[in-house]
């Protein structure tokens, strides 16, 4: 079933007697398989309000992300958190939507400097599991519940409500950029180089490690500032390996797209896990996994390629962080909880929130646990 506006969506959810499988662009198929009637919300589209001078945009959730980014680009602006396109990684088609981006809290390499998707959210509109239209946050949206639903909806994967509209903060595109490529060998050397860069006063907007390339350190801003900071970082990072400076815009874009999209795993067999950890833990964790990997967020984000059907979480034991199964077969995702198990106290809160916002238990039931 496909809906084209908020009122129609509310009516469908209000009248639903069984589970609903929520789909926007169909490009972020993460979590346990959901059994239920398909509810396609990709028809709820359009930009409701865009004020470039105020750095804000209000957009319907079914709007294609590419369309929004195109509109922003014409004004020299962008989404600062660099949402990634996972179609190649997951082997799916379709077009990423704004609602799917928010529901997944999709945040790319620039998160180390600009924050996550949830940090750019100003307001949300959504339909909860009882069919009620809820508004929360900034712009003309009024807080009617007492909850900070703007943050709560980011990363909820459609289990608390179905997004219909979001208000976002945007930022200007930088005038210039450079990427320092440090020939660090292995995770330990890479994390040391990235930590040194991030701990410097030079406003790094990306710190990642691509095997075969090295540690990548991105600098953005006005041309003179980029040149100065790049020179300073070149001297600082020289002890971590040979440093090459990349200034070609096309090459820089390609490198960071490879990081954000985990492109090196796209055409390879195996399951893909995403681990959020302390950067200092990354080398030891990778030694335990003994797998192919790439690093983002200064080593705080590990993308790991492991044999099909293997439970990386069980192999690691207790870690201070989260391990999420991003790509695997339906059988594996049914057997292994894709999302990291919550501590009992947090699980109780989560269950209470779902009971409050989805009393019939019909929105993507079972997807997160």
pLDDT for res 28: 85
Span 298-308, mean pLDDT? 98
Q: Which two tokens stand for residue 235?
A: 């001297």
In percent, the amount of the chain with pLDDT more than 90 equals 88
Q: How many structural domains is the chain composed of?
A: 3
Compare 162 and 317 and report the one with higher pLDDT. Answer: 162
Given a cut of 80, is residue 50 above it in pLDDT?
yes
Are residues 239 and 295 both part of a single domain?
no
Residue 362 forms part of a structural domain: no
Average pLDDT, the chain: 94
Span 281-308, mean pLDDT? 97
Residue 100 forms part of a structural domain: yes
Span 253-262, mean pLDDT? 96
Are residues 224 and 281 both part of a single domain?
no
pLDDT for res 139: 53
Span 67-81, mean pLDDT? 97
Per residue in 83-116, pLDDT tens? 989 999 999 999 999 999 999 999 999 999 999 9
Are residues 163 and 203 both part of a single domain?
no
Give 126-147 as a 3 state SS string: EEECCCCEEEEECCCCCCCCCC
Span 172-187, mean pLDDT? 96
Per residue in 132-159, pLDDT tens? 999 987 653 344 445 578 899 999 999 9
143 contacts 150 by C-beta, under 8 angstroms: no
Q: DSSP readout, 280-344?
A: GGHHHHHHHH-SEEEEEGGGTEEEEEE-TT--HHHHH-S-SEEEEEEE--HHHHHHS-SSPPPPH
DSSP character at residue 173: P
pLDDT for res 141: 37
Residue 278 forms part of a structural domain: yes
Domain end among 224, 239, 260: 260
Span 236-241, mean pLDDT? 96
Domain end among 234, 260, 286: 260
Are residues 198 and 67 both part of a single domain?
no
Are residues 99 and 186 both part of a single domain?
no
Are residues 76 and 130 both part of a single domain?
yes
Are residues 130 and 189 both part of a single domain?
no
Domain end among 172, 200, 232: 172
Residue 305 forms part of a structural domain: yes
pLDDT for res 140: 39
Q: Which domain holds residue 269?
A: 265-335
Residue 363 forms part of a structural domain: no
Given a cut of 90, is residue 320 above it in pLDDT?
no
Residue 206 forms part of a structural domain: yes
Given a cut of 80, is residue 257 above it in pLDDT?
yes
Are residues 211 and 96 both part of a single domain?
no
Are residues 68 and 190 both part of a single domain?
no
Are residues 270 and 299 both part of a single domain?
yes
Are residues 59 and 39 both part of a single domain?
yes
What is the separation of C-alpha 56 from the centre of its chain, rounded to a whole number of angstroms?
20
Per residue in 182-208, pLDDT tens? 999 899 999 999 999 999 999 999 999
What's this model's pTM, rounded to 2 decimal places? 0.93
pLDDT for res 142: 40
Are residues 13 and 78 both part of a single domain?
yes
Number of neighbours of residue 269 by Cβ within 10 angstroms: 8
Residue 350 forms part of a structural domain: no
CATH number at residue 225: 3.30.70.920
Residue 86 forms part of a structural domain: yes
């Amino acid at each position: 079933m496909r809906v084209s506006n908020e009122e129609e969506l509310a009516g469908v959810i209000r009248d639903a007697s069984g589970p609903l499988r929520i789909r926007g662009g169909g490009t972020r198929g993460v979590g346990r398989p959901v059994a239920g009637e398909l509810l396609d919300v990709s028809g709820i589209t359009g930009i409701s309000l865009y004020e470039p001078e105020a750095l804000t945009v209000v957009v319907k959730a079914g709007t294609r992300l590419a369309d929004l980014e195109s509109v922003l680009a014409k004004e020299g602006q962008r989404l600062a958190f660099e949402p990634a396109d996972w179609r190649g990684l997951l082997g799916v088609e379709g077009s990423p939507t704004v609602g799917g981006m928010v529901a997944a809290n999709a945040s790319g390499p620039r998160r180390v400097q600009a924050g996550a998707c949830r940090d750019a959210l100003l307001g949300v509109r959504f339909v909860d599991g009882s069919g009620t239209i809820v508004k929360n946050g900034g712009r003309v949206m009024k807080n009617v519940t007492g909850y900070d639903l703007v943050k709560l909806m980011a990363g909820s994967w459609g289990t608390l409500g179905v997004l219909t509209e979001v208000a976002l903060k945007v930022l200007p595109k930088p005038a210039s950029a450079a990427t320092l490529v440090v020939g660090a060998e292995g995770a330990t050397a890479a994390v040391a180089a990235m930590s040194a860069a991030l701990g410097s006063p030079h406003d790094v907007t990306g710190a990642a490690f691509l095997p075969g390339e090295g540690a990548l350190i991105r600098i953005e801003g006005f041309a003179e500032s980029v040149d100065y900071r790049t020179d300073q970082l070149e001297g600082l990072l020289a002890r971590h390996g040979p440093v090459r400076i990349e200034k070609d815009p096309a090459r820089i874009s390609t490198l960071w797209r490879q990081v954000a999209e985990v492109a090196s795993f796209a055409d390879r067999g195996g399951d893909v896990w995403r681990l959020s950890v302390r950067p200092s833990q990354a080398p030891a964790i990778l030694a335990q996994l003994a797998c192919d990997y790439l690093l983002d967020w200064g080593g705080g984000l590990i993308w790991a390629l492991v044999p099909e059907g293997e439970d990386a979480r069980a192999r690691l034991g207790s870690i201070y962080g989260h391990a999420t199964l991003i790509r695997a077969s339906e059988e594996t995702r049914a057997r292994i909880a894709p999302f990291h198990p919550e501590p009992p106290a947090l699980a109780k809160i989560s269950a209470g929130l779902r009971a409050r916002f989805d009393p019939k238990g019909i929105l993507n039931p079972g997807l997160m646990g």
